[in-house]
Amino acid sequence: MGRVLDHIDDATASWIETQHMFFVGTAPGEGGRVNLSPKGLDSFRVVGPTEIAYLDLTGSGAETIAHIRDNGRITIMFCAFEGPPRILRLYGTGSVHQPGDQRFGELSPLFPERRGVRSVITASVERMQDSCGYSVPMMEFTGDRTRLDAWVESRSDEEIAAYWAARNATSIDGLPALDM
C-alpha cells in the first residue's frame, strides 16, 4: 500500500505533472493555526530529485510564507482524483523567494508568465511517502478557474501591491509574511 521514497524519480515526477491540484500544509512553530491551502493553475514544478518549487499567487492570506519564515516546515500533498488511486506527501523545509530575489529570477521562467505572483516557494524534500488513496473519490477535471487572473488583470501593479500590504504582510496569528 504505502512506501517511503528517498527522491522524486522520473515516474513520480511524471505523475505529479498530471495532477491538477495539490495541497500545502504549514504551521507556526508554537501555538497558532495550522494552515492547509489548495493550489492549482499549473503552478508546481519538480526542480530536482529532492527539490520542488511552486508559484505563490495573490491570495487573501499569506500563512504559508509566514510559517516558512517562522520555522521552514512544509508538507505538500497530491491526491489522484482521476486514474489509479494514489496519495503522495512531500515533507521538507521551505524557502520563500520574492520578486527581485536571485532565486526568484532563476525559478520564475519554469512557469507560465502571470501577474500577481507574490513569490516562488521552494522546498528541500527530506521525505516522500505515498499511500493507496483507496478512499479518495474519483472526480473529473473540467478546467481551471479564471477568477484570480481576471481579478489581477483588472488592477494596476500599484493596486496589487497595496492589497498585499494590507492583506498579506502578516499571518492571521500576527507572524510577518510578505516583505513590503
**What is the pLDDT at residue 20?**
97
Condensed to tens digits (0 to 9), the pLDDT of residues 110-161 reads 999 999 999 999 999 999 999 999 999 999 999 999 999 999 999 999 999 9
Tally of domains within the chain: 1
The CATH number of whichever domain residue 108 belongs to comes to 2.30.110.10
77 within some domain? yes
174 within some domain? no
Condensed to tens digits (0 to 9), the pLDDT of residues 31-65 reads 999 999 999 999 999 999 999 999 999 999 999 99
110 within some domain? yes
Domain that holds residue 24: 3-135+144-167
172 within some domain? no
Could you give the CA distance from residue 157 to residue 43 in angstroms, rounded to a whole number?
A: 21
176 within some domain? no
Question: 124 with 90: CB under 8 angstroms?
Answer: no
**What is the pLDDT at residue 87?**
97
Cell readout for 121 is 516557494
The pTM assigned to this predicted structure is 0.95
Strand partners, 22: 39
**Closest-CA residue to 90 (of 138, 135, 23):** 23
3-class SS of residue 23: strand
180 within some domain? no
**What is the pLDDT at residue 180?**
77
7 within some domain? yes
Cell readout for 143 is 478546467
178 within some domain? no
Cell readout for 70 is 517562522
What is the dihedral sign for C-alpha 52, 58, 62, 65?
positive
Condensed to tens digits (0 to 9), the pLDDT of residues 59-109 reads 999 999 999 999 999 999 999 999 999 999 999 999 999 999 999 999 999
pLDDT at 1 over 90: no
**Closest-CA residue to 149 (of 114, 110, 120, 118):** 114
**What is the pLDDT at residue 179?**
87
